[in-house]
């Protein structure tokens, strides 16, 4: 049965969605307003590249990861605001079902009354927004022996034309028919047996030479893989170009070798670059002004930095790529010669910054190393770096060129210099390797001109060990234990002015914050907590205005859109991700949190939006 037929059949029933609310008045309103039966919306004729580029301005859908190619996660919707947020109520909850719970980090895609949402173990659903009814499900058949580093998560899908695209844990990308869920094509990104996987939402960008391209990275930095960005034809899945991010490796264009990344052995000794890491595991953003794709790159491999003297480009970096040919336009390394696993993958968000009476074409990133960087997005020039977490110890600061001022006593010791050659000097470093901010995306408000950064205050004991590369095996050469640095909180949501580096307000959370942020023209900031709450804050002051308990921890990114004149909010729920697996003492502190797997949809009806 086609989606349009199934949706019509579902809506023909007298369905009353279960409504749960945080107040009796809202509950009463929910019951009354749910009595109406929505008519079946028509299927989309096809999502265009212009739809993707204009996603932030069009409020009746969400067709990109990040609510626009720049990834600002800002919505111009203001129907839901500080005055009426108390009237936001849940309409339905859809369970991902079965025993496949684990971490749920997906951001939904919304188009013409249909939600496309991915889940753990490489699954994806199409859901009727009006009813919460499943329209179709695709479950990737994963092989034995996959090697995901940090839980079996998936962060979302992409959409173009009549196809929905998403990646799988065995390092493949799949194109599905958006109406039926049937496979159109399936391509291999890399060999999962070598340690590769894929967890990010694909990025679709325009080009003059090739038309729209679907751009992906790769995961697996802890297994000595080589980070790479690649672009494919969305109709066929055929490769157009590839760009390895570690120097000494060759890119390709139209099936032939193109250029080498960097210069061989300029910043890597010997053959270390061949398994140099730099996984591009979070995906990228695109800036229509400069027509550049921005990707972050992960840690160099192995973690033991004494085995690879030099800056180790382009690991732990932000790079700008020309999508026409896959050439690197510029690079900026946030942690040269990384020795703490400070991946540089965190999203690079384009924005226009007013400073000293001028408008600067800027981009910002909150790095795992604890510093918030502002760069010139046209050329990668350094503008500023400000700490956004407390007690940073690995570096004394950032110099005028953007390079860290290292504290030599706070680099883990060389095991070759120890008495037995088995363990180097252990040091306590802040932040921990899970970062001042990890994967969870921040948001930028065009109204307040502030960034809202989900962060964590923690440190780690870390030491180096001898290691040799073995294909498909962990390639660390380090040991570690993560510890909180404050007794009363770990998670911290901060509002930061990028022009001054000033933190305007802070919300502190007992457990680590591991979910993304959304901000709106209604003066709201949304995020979720591991304790299970979806929360809304005043964007100007940080005052908590509303919360709803979803029943399991939230480690995903909220979205908002308008449908039939009403503003909706959705969030995927399900505790998991890297913290329970890698968190050391922190993982013990939050071991009581329960797993789950659902997506919740909320709305503020017209009748309550005016109150």
Active-site residue set = 341
| Alpha carbon distance 519, 529 (integer Å) | 16
| Alpha carbon distance 55, 405 (integer Å) | 40
Nearest Cα residue to 251 out of 183, 202, 209, 314: 314
Long-range CB contacts for residues 246-250, cutoff 8 Å, separation at least 24: 246/273, 246/276, 246/277, 246/278, 246/313, 246/314, 246/315, 247/273, 247/313, 247/314, 248/273, 248/274, 249/273
- HSE at residue 448, side-chain half, CA atoms within 13 A, is 28
| Alpha carbon distance 387, 22 (integer Å) | 37
Question: Looking at the chain, how many residues does it have?
Answer: 611
| Alpha carbon distance 415, 471 (integer Å) | 23
| Alpha carbon distance 40, 338 (integer Å) | 54
- Tokens 């939230």: give the residue: 554
Q: How far apart are the first and last CA of the chain?
A: 41
The C-alpha angle 279, 151, 583, rounded to 5 degrees, equals 95
The separation between CA 390 and the C-alpha centre of its own chain, rounded to angstroms, equals: 23
| Alpha carbon distance 200, 339 (integer Å) | 25
Alpha-carbon distance values, 611 to 19, 83, 330, 403 (Å)? 20, 8, 50, 52
| Alpha carbon distance 219, 226 (integer Å) | 9
């Amino acid at each position: 049965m086609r989606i349009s037929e199934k949706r019509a059949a579902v809506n023909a029933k007298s369905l009353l969605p279960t409504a749960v609310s945080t107040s009796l008045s809202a509950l009463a309103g929910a019951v009354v307003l749910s009595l109406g039966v929505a008519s079946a919306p028509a299927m989309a004729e096809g999502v265009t590249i212009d739809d993707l580029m204009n996603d932030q301005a069009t409020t009746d859908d969400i067709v990109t990861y990040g609510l626009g190619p720049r990834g600002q996660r800002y919505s111009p919707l203001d129907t839901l605001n500080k005055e009426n947020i108390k009237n936001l109520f849940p309409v339905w909850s859809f369970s991902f079902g079965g025993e496949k719970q684990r971490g749920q980090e997906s951001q939904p895609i919304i188009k013409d009354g249909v939600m496309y949402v991915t889940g753990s173990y490489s699954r994806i659903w199409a859901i009727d927004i009006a009813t919460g009814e499943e329209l179709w499900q695709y479950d990737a058949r994963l092989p034995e022996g996959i090697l995901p580093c940090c839980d079996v998560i998936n962060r979302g899908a992409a959409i173009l034309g009549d196809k929905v695209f998403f990646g799988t844990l065995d390092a493949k990308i799949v194109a599905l028919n958006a109406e039926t869920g049937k496979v159109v094509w399936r391509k291999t990104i890399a060999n999962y047996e070598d340690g590769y996987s894929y967890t990010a939402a694909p990025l679709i960008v325009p080009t003059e030479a090739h038309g729209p391209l679907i751009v992906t990275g790769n995961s697996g930095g802890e297994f000595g893989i080589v980070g790479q960005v690649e672009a494919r034809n969305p109709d066929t899945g055929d490769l157009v170009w590839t760009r390895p991010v570690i120097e000494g490796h060759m890119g390709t264009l139209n099936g032939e070798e193109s250029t080498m990344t960097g210069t061989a052995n300029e910043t890597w000794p010997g053959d270390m670059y061949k398994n140099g890491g730099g996984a591009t595991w979070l995906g990228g953003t695109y800036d229509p002004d400069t027509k550049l794709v921005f990707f972050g790159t992960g840690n160099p491999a192995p973690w033991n930095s004494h085995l690879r003297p030099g800056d180790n480009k382009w690991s732990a970096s932000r790079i700008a790529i020309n999508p026409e040919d896959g050439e690197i336009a510029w690079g900026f390394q946030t942690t040269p010669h990384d020795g703490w696993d400070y991946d540089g993958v965190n999203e690079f968000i384009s924005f226009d910054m007013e400073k000293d009476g001028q408008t600067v074409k800027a981009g910002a990133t909150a790095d795992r190393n604890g510093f918030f960087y502002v760069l010139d997005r046209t050329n990668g020039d350094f503008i500023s770096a400000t700490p956004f977490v407390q007690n940073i110890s690995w570096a004394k600061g950032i110099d005028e060129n953007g390079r860290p001022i290292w504290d030599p006593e706070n680099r883990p010791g060389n095991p070759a210099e120890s008495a037995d050659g088995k363990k180097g000097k252990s040091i306590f470093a802040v932040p921990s390797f899970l970062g001042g901010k990890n994967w969870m995306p921040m948001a930028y408000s065009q109204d307040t001109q502030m960034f809202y950064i989900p962060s964590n205050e923690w440190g780690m004991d870390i030491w180096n060990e001898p290691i040799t590369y073995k294909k498909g095996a962990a390639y660390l050469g380090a040991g570690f234990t993560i510890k909180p640095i404050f007794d009363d909180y770990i998670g911290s949501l901060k509002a930061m002015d990028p022009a001054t580096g000033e933190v305007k307000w802070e919300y502190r959370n007992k457990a680590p914050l591991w979910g993304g942020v959304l901000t709106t023209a209604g003066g709201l900031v949304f995020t979720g907590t591991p304790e299970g709450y979806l929360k809304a804050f005043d964007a100007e002051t940080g005052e908590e205005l509303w919360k709803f308990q979803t029943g399991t921890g939230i480690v995903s990114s909220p979205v908002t859109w308008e449908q039939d004149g009403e503003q909706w909010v959705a969030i995927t729920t399900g505790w998991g991700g890297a913290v329970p697996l890698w968190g050391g003492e922190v993982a013990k502190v939050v071991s009581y949190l329960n797993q789950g797997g659902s997506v919740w949809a909320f709305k503020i009806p017209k009748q309550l939006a005016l109150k």
